[in-house]
Structure 1
C-alpha cells in the first residue's frame, strides 16, 4: 500500500483495521492511534510519500545489500524537501519512535539492526546535482548516488571525489571519510565538503560550514550527528580525461610474488604515484582453478591510454594466467573493476555481505600467504561461503595527507591500504553466521598481528559492527574526548546511535 499524502488518513485506517490482535502491543500500534500517520502526512509537503508494509515501494526502500541485522522499520517516509526530513524527525521524537536515514541501503554494519519498529527516512528523491555558476562547487542532494554525480559533472567537464561503486551514495561514504580514485589529487570525499544543510536530533535545520565546531565531526563521524539533506562540495576541471587499466589473474602460487611486487613497484614505502591505483581480490573461479581461489589484480593509471610498462612489467613477469588491458575515461572505471550499476556488487540479492576491515601500511607477504591459505581451506570446508571475496585496495595518498590529521574526525590519513574480507552467504541459521564471522575475524587478526601496528584501524564505512569506537574513530584520547563532547552537545539523547555509534 502506497500512501499518498491526500489519502493517508483513509489508507491508514484501512491498514490498522486489518492488524491482527498480536500487533496491538507493538510500536506499530502507535501508528494506528488517532491522528498518527495522518498527522504525519499533514505535516509533509505535497510531494512526500509514506509507504507501508506490503507495498512495492516499502519493499524497495527497505531491501538492503546485506540482510544481516537490517533495521526493522514499520513505515517509510520519502521526503520531497528538507523540511519533510525535519518534520519526520520531530514526529518520531514526539512519539518516542526510532528513525534512520537511508540512501542506497549499502551500509552493512550490524549496529543498524538496533532500529526496532522504526521510521525509515528514504532519501531517494533528494537527488539534485546543481553546479554553481562559477564552476567551483556543486550542491548535492542528501540522497544522490555516485553515478549521478560523476556523470553529471563529467558532461560539464568537471569531476570530484566519489566512491568507486556507482550504486552507493555520496554521503553514506562521505560522512565516514570516503575513499575514491581521485583522492590522490584532492583528498577524501569529506575533504571536498564546503557546507551542508543538516537536520539535527531535535528536528531543527541548520546550515553549517567550517565555522561550526560540529564541522570537524561531520568529516569522518558524521553519521552520529544528523541527517544531511544537501551538501556543497568542491569540484575540479577535468585535466586528465583518459584512464587506462591493466588486469591480471594469478593463481594461489603467486601470492608472495604478487604482493611483494606491489610493495616494491607501486606502494614504494608510502610513495605510490598520484596517478596510480591498485586493487585486487581473492575469489573463486572454478573455470580457472577448480580447487582454490584465484587473484584478480588491477592497475589503473590516470592520464594514459596504456598503463606504463614500468608498472606492469613486474607483474607480467610473474606469469599471470589471464591478462587484459583497456582504456577510456574516468566514468568507465566502475565497469572495468566490476562495480557498475549492473555489476554483482550493486545487486540486492538477499545475501549476507559482511566485511571485516583493517587498514595497513604495507603488505606482509608471509601474512598474505597465511590468509590466502585460510580463506581457501575454509571455503572448501564450508561451500556455503564460496561466494566470498577478499578485497585489497591501494589508493594514492597525496591529497589525503595534505589535510592536517587533527582537522577532521577521519583518523587514518597515514594508512596506505584498505583491506577487507567480504564474507558472502545466504543466511541459513546461527551456525553458518557464526562460521562466517569466525572466518572474517581470523583473517583480520592474522593481518593485524603481522602488521606491527598498535591499534586495529578499521574503516568505518566497511565495519562489521563489533569493533570498538577507538577502532572506528581513532585511539587518541583527544579524539575520543572531542567526539563525546560534541555528541553530548548536539545529540544528548543519542537519537543518532545506529551507525557505528559514539558512546
Structure 2
C-alpha cells in the first residue's frame, strides 16, 4: 500500500498517517512538513516526485513553459487548503493551484519550485432545496457539473470543454453555450468560499470589495474551495448541429455568410451558436487544411434551413446534420473528455486569442493564406488549429461592463490560433510563437483598434495587463489597488498576473 522508502518516511513523516502520501522522493527532516501532515484530513494526499500520483497531478495539457513543483498536496477539505497555504507561506515557498491543468500561459514557467495544490478531491455538486442555486466544489470538472445538474432537471453556464474545471474558466469570465440566455460563467456567481494569499478562509459575495475582481481576474486573488452558482430549469432538452466542411478557397464566402446570417452585428439569436476550426482533416482533403464549420441550435431536432442554406449554396465538401441533447455538444465539437484536445500527449499548445466584433472577410483570407502553408503536409505544426467561437451574446451584453473585472462584454466573437507541436528545442518554439502572433496580428490590424483584446483563459502569457484585463485606467487602478490589499506579496502571480 505504501511504497515510499521506509527510512525516508520515518525521517520526514513520523507520526503522519500513511493515507497522506504515496511513493516518491520525500525530503528528509522537514518538521514543518511533518506538522502539515498532522493537520491535514485523513483523506488528503501528499505526492512527491517519482510517484504515480505526482505525475498524474502535474502532467499538463501543454508542456510549453510548465510550472515546476517539489510536492503536490491533494486537499480533501477546505481546511486542507488553508493549512497548505499556511505551510507554503511559513516556508516561503510559492504555491500554485491545479484543476484541469489546461492552463497554457508561458507565465506559469516562472514557477521553478514550490507546492502544487491539486483540487481534484474537492469535487461535488449540491442543488439547493429551492432549485435556484447549486454549491459546487472548487475542483469540480465541467462535465460533472453538467451531468449532475442535468440529472436534477437543471443546468447552468459552464465552459464548453468537458475536461476543464468549472472554476478555471469562470475566474477569467468563462464563455459557454448558454451565455446568450444567462451571461458568462462568472455572471452566475452567488457566493464563494475563498482561501486568500495569507491562508485566511473567507466567504465573499456581492457585499465584498473582492467580488468584482473574482469575476474576471480571480486567478490573482485566491483559491476557491467552493462556489454557489445560479442554476436554471432545462428549457429545451433537444439540440441540433450541422457540421459543414469547406475547402480553403471558400474562406471569404464562408465568413461573409457568417456575418450576414449568424453574427448579425451581435444580434445572433440566443438559441444559436457558430463555431469553426481551420485544421487538417485527411478524410476531407489529404493535402490541404479545411474549414470545419458548426451551426448549433437549441430547441430543435434539425438546424433551421434559414441558417444552413446560405452555407450549402457556397459549395461544401461535406455536411453532417446531427440531433441530440445539450450533453452531446462537446462530442459534436470535439472537446469531450475522450476527444483529442482533452488528452495529455506531451505536446505544446500555445494559443493567441483575440476578441472580434465581426469577421473581417479580407483579414480571414489573409490569415488563411498564412495558416494553410504553415500547417500543410509534414510541417511541425500540422496538428495546429485556428478556432473561431461565435456564441450568442445577449446575456453577456445585457450585464453592465463595470459590474465585473471581465472587460470585454461588447465583443461578439472569440478567435484563437492554437499552434500544436512536439517540443524539440527553442527553434521550433520560437517559430510557433511567431506563427501564432502573426495570425493574431492580421486579425488585430483589421479591427482598426490600437491594441487587441485577449481572453485570459486562452492567453499565451506575454499579453499585457491591459490586453487581458481592459485598458481603461479605472479598471487597472481598481485591480492594482485590490491586488495590493489582498495579495501584496504577489503569491498569486503565475497565471495571467496583474502587472
TM-score (norm 1): 0.95
Q: How does 1:58-137 map to 2 (within 5 A)?
A: 58-137=54-133
Matched, 1:210 2:210: no
Matched, 1:258 2:254: yes
Q: Alpha-carbon deviation of 1:39?
A: 2.1
CA–CA distance in structure 1, aligned partners of residues 407 and 2 of structure 2: 43
Task: Report if aligned partners of 1:9, 1:38 keep a CA contact under 8 Å in 2.
Answer: no
CA pair 116-127 structure 1, distance change in 2 beyond 3 A: same
User: What's the counterpart of residue 470 of structure 1?
Assistant: 466
User: What's the counterpart of residue 326 of structure 1?
Assistant: 322
CA–CA distance in structure 2, aligned partners of residues 2 and 64 of structure 1: 26
Q: Alpha-carbon deviation of 1:45?
A: 1.1
Q: Deviations over 1:111-159 (max 9, x none)?
A: 1111121100000000010000110000000000000000000011100
CA–CA distance in structure 1, aligned partners of residues 240 and 351 of structure 2: 29
Matched, 1:373 2:369: yes
SS of 1:196's partner is strand
CA pair 8-174 structure 1, distance change in 2 beyond 3 A: farther
CA–CA distance in structure 2, aligned partners of residues 13 and 219 of structure 1: 40
Q: Deviations over 1:429-473 (max 9, x none)?
A: 000000000000000000000111233100000000001000010
Matched, 1:244 2:249: no
SS of 1:298's partner is strand
Q: How does 1:422-461 map to 2 (within 5 A)?
A: 422-461=418-457
CA–CA distance in structure 2, aligned partners of residues 324 and 491 of structure 1: 51
Q: Alpha-carbon deviation of 1:43?
A: 1.7
CA–CA distance in structure 2, aligned partners of residues 382 and 176 of structure 1: 36
CA–CA distance in structure 1, aligned partners of residues 208 and 378 of structure 2: 51
CA–CA distance in structure 1, aligned partners of residues 248 and 393 of structure 2: 29
CA–CA distance in structure 2, aligned partners of residues 388 and 483 of structure 1: 34
CA pair 420-2 structure 1, distance change in 2 beyond 3 A: farther
TM-score (norm 2): 0.95
Q: How does 1:151-300 map to 2 (within 5 A)?
A: 151-300=147-296
| Gap regions ≥5 residues in structure 1 | 15-27
Deviates more, 1:260-269 or 1:377-386: 377-386
CA–CA distance in structure 1, aligned partners of residues 237 and 7 of structure 2: 50
Matched, 1:49 2:42: no
CA–CA distance in structure 2, aligned partners of residues 7 and 126 of structure 1: 32
Q: Alpha-carbon deviation of 1:292?
A: 1.9
SS of 2:350's partner is strand
Q: Alpha-carbon deviation of 1:8?
A: 8.8
CA–CA distance in structure 2, aligned partners of residues 286 and 129 of structure 1: 41
CA–CA distance in structure 2, aligned partners of residues 374 and 33 of structure 1: 56
Q: Alpha-carbon deviation of 1:309?
A: 0.5
Matched, 1:10 2:10: yes
CA–CA distance in structure 2, aligned partners of residues 202 and 458 of structure 1: 30
User: What's the counterpart of residue 17 of structure 2?
Assistant: none
SS of 1:181's partner is coil
Q: Alpha-carbon deviation of 1:270?
A: 1.3
Q: Alpha-carbon deviation of 1:34?
A: 3.6
Q: Deviations over 1:262-312 (max 9, x none)?
A: 000001111111100000010012332233210100000011111001000
CA–CA distance in structure 2, aligned partners of residues 443 and 351 of structure 1: 20
CA–CA distance in structure 2, aligned partners of residues 207 and 8 of structure 1: 39
Indicate the RMSD between aligned Cα atoms, in angstroms. 1.9
User: What's the counterpart of residue 146 of structure 2?
Assistant: 150
CA–CA distance in structure 2, aligned partners of residues 164 and 8 of structure 1: 44
Task: Report if aligned partners of 2:288, 2:377 keep a CA contact under 8 Å in 1.
Answer: no
Task: Report if aligned partners of 1:150, 1:159 keep a CA contact under 8 Å in 2.
Answer: yes
CA pair 58-11 structure 1, distance change in 2 beyond 3 A: farther
CA–CA distance in structure 2, aligned partners of residues 246 and 55 of structure 1: 45
SS of 1:373's partner is helix
| Gap regions ≥5 residues in structure 2 | 15-23
Q: Deviations over 1:30-76 (max 9, x none)?
A: 94344142222112111111001111110000000000111100100
Task: Report if aligned partners of 1:2, 1:55 keep a CA contact under 8 Å in 2.
Answer: no
CA–CA distance in structure 1, aligned partners of residues 109 and 307 of structure 2: 44
CA–CA distance in structure 1, aligned partners of residues 57 and 461 of structure 2: 22
CA–CA distance in structure 1, aligned partners of residues 156 and 7 of structure 2: 42
Task: Report if aligned partners of 1:455, 1:475 keep a CA contact under 8 Å in 2.
Answer: no
SS of 2:485's partner is helix
Q: Alpha-carbon deviation of 1:382?
A: 6.7
CA–CA distance in structure 2, aligned partners of residues 378 and 247 of structure 1: 25
Q: Deviations over 1:305-324 (max 9, x none)?
A: 11001000000111111100
